[in-house]
Amino acid sequence: MAGQMKKILVIGATGQIGSELVSHLREDYGENSVIGTYNNTDPSGDLLDGPMEKLDVLNAGRIGEVVDKYEVDSVFHLAAILSAKGESNPQLAFKVNVMGTFNVLEVGRKQQLNRIVIPSSIGVFGPEVPREKAPNETVLRPTSMYGVTKVTGELLGNYYFNKYGLDVRGARFPGIISYKTLPGGGTTDYAVEAFYKAIEDRHYSFFVREDTRLPLMYMPDCTRALIELAQADLEDLNYHADYNVSSLSFSARDLAEAIRKRIPEFSFDFQPDERQEIADSWPNSMDDTPARKDWGWQPRFGLEEMTDDMIDKLKEKLDEHERK
Ligand SMILES: NC(=O)c1ccc[n+]([C@@H]2O[C@H](COP(=O)([O-])OP(=O)(O)OC[C@H]3O[C@@H](n4cnc5c(N)ncnc54)[C@H](O)[C@@H]3O)[C@@H](O)[C@H]2O)c1
């Protein structure tokens, strides 16, 4: 089960995905075998159950140092500037997403790591791709800086595999919905904010139009996808840094109605802002046949199950927060 991963470094562990991935990996591989890193946000909660190191991905020497210190053999590289934040500071997004990824790959090459996993995103797609079931193999001409950097990350990952034999893997994730850590400034943040606002204020103004339909995924499917991709046999992989992984696809109104079914006092409206333009450049859904065939990818949560679980868990979390 553990494959060739023994000492795992998770870069960007305090983020939306990292904060959950670390605890899953620690359950599978042991608390001291999974090292998390943070940059501007201090780690808290169960992240502190195992080793944590401060690290800026723009400092290649420091990445090498941490890899050496813990004899790391595998890396999940999650540090990034997401789509909406990236559009307000494209220069920072380029630096962190492109140079950060380059630094991680160079450490992987020089220190001969077994495996590097780097999530990609639906952000790689631009307006030319088919809206429905965007294929794995298609034209990649994104219009956001985030998309430009994620395509570059995929190309770099595939280059390091072909040129140096470095085992780089990645999947194009849709917008991720979760309750543990708030999202870090993406275009699909509305799909998380709506739950918080429905529970806390009973009202939410979506920042996209009601008919905005995007690919989305619940966090338990996301962390499982990352771990299953990392554990797959290399011989089975026909792609490397660029697997489509699909799960849910629903409109902003569908989500609002699903929440109102469970919280009848919930009211909502739609006031699109600049993030609408990014949302409009992405497809509604993805075809993920290669991921299903090559490493058995299969999502588990539908809209109804996700909404039930999200509301239950978020209520628990917010109640607990209030009691403290
Ligand atoms: N969350 C989503 O909806 C989603 C969807 C598709 C793909 N992804 C991808 O998944 C990965 C993780 O995303 P996330 O949602 O956890 O993002 P996030 O914004 O929640 O977390 C990113 C982390 O990167 C860290 N970081 C930023 N700059 C850094 C630097 N210079 N050095 C070190 N760390 C730095 C931040 O402190 C943060 O902890 C990214 O590659 C992202 O593109 C996320």
Residue 301, amino acid:
F
Is the pLDDT at 2 greater than 70, yes or no? no
Mutational test site, ligand 1, from 17, 35, 89, max ligand atoms within 8 Å of CB? 17
Measured in angstroms, how far is the CA atom of residue 57 from the centroid of ligand 1? 12
pLDDT of residue 88: 96
User: What CATH number matches the domain at 178-216+248-286+301-317, 1.50.10.20, 3.90.25.10, 3.90.76.10, 3.90.1150.10?
Assistant: 3.90.25.10
Read off the pLDDT of residues 36-78 as tens digits, 9 standing for 90 and up.
Answer: 999 999 999 999 999 999 999 999 999 999 999 999 999 999 9
Class assignment of domain 8-175+217-244?
alpha beta
Rounded CA separation 264/251 (Å)? 19
Query: Would you please indicate which residues are annotated as catalytic (active-site) residues?
Result: 146
Per-residue pLDDT, averaged over 295-302, amounts to 98
How close is the Cα of 169 to the center of ligand 1, in Å?
A: 16
**pLDDT for res 248:** 97
Nearest residue by C-alpha to atom 29 in ligand 1: 79
Is the C-beta atom of 16 inside 6 A of ligand 1?
yes
Please compute the mean of the pLDDT values over residues 142-167 and round it to a whole number. Answer: 98
Residue-wise pLDDT for 214-243, tens only, equals 999 999 999 999 999 999 999 999 999 999
- State the chain's mean pLDDT as an integer: 97
- pLDDT of res. 129: 97
Domain-wise residue ranges, the chain: 8-175+217-244, 178-216+248-286+301-317
Between the CA of 263 and the centroid of ligand 1 the distance, in Å, is 31
Pocket flag, ligand 1, residue 18 (CB < 6 Å): yes
**What is the pLDDT, as a whole number, of residue 1?**
41
Atom of ligand 1 nearest to the CA of 189: 3
C-alpha 15 – ligand 1 centre gap (Å): 6
pLDDT of residue 266: 98
Q: Indicate if ligand 1 lies below 6 Å from the C-beta of 108.
A: no
Residue 230: the pLDDT is 98
In the prediction, which pLDDT does 323 show? Answer: 86
> In the prediction, which pLDDT does 278 show?
96
| Ligand 1 contact via 93 beta carbon (within 6 Å) | no
Cα(108) to centroid of ligand 1, in Å? 19
| Predicted confidence band of residue 4 (pLDDT cuts 50, 70, 90) | confident
- Vertex 274, ends 268 and 275: CA angle to 5°? 70
Instruction: Give distance in angstroms: CA of 60 to centre of ligand 1.
Output: 18
Q: Give me the pLDDT at residue 31, please.
A: 97
d(CA 121, CA 189): 14
96 lines ligand 1 (CB under 6 A): yes
Using most ligand atoms within 8 A of CB, pick from 82, 154, 192, 243 the residue to mutate for ligand 1.
82
Is the predicted pLDDT of residue 96 greater than 80, yes or no?
Answer: yes
How does residue 324 score in pLDDT terms, banded at 50, 70 and 90? confident
3-class secondary structure, 323:
helix
Q: Which amino acid is at 91?
A: Q
Q: Residue 56 CA: which ligand 1 atom is closest? A: 32
Structure-block tokens of residue 90: 């494209």
Q: What is the pTM of this model?
A: 0.98
- Residue 37: enclosing H or E segment and its boundaries? strand 34-38
Q: Please report, for residues 10, 12, 36, 37, 141, the alpha-carbon distance to residue 52 in angstroms, rounded to integers and kept in the order given.
A: 9, 11, 5, 5, 37
pLDDT, tens digit (0-9, with 9 covering 90-100), for 250-294: 999 999 999 999 999 999 999 999 999 999 999 999 999 999 999
- Please indicate whether residue 104, judged by its CB atom, sits closer than 6 Å to ligand 1: no
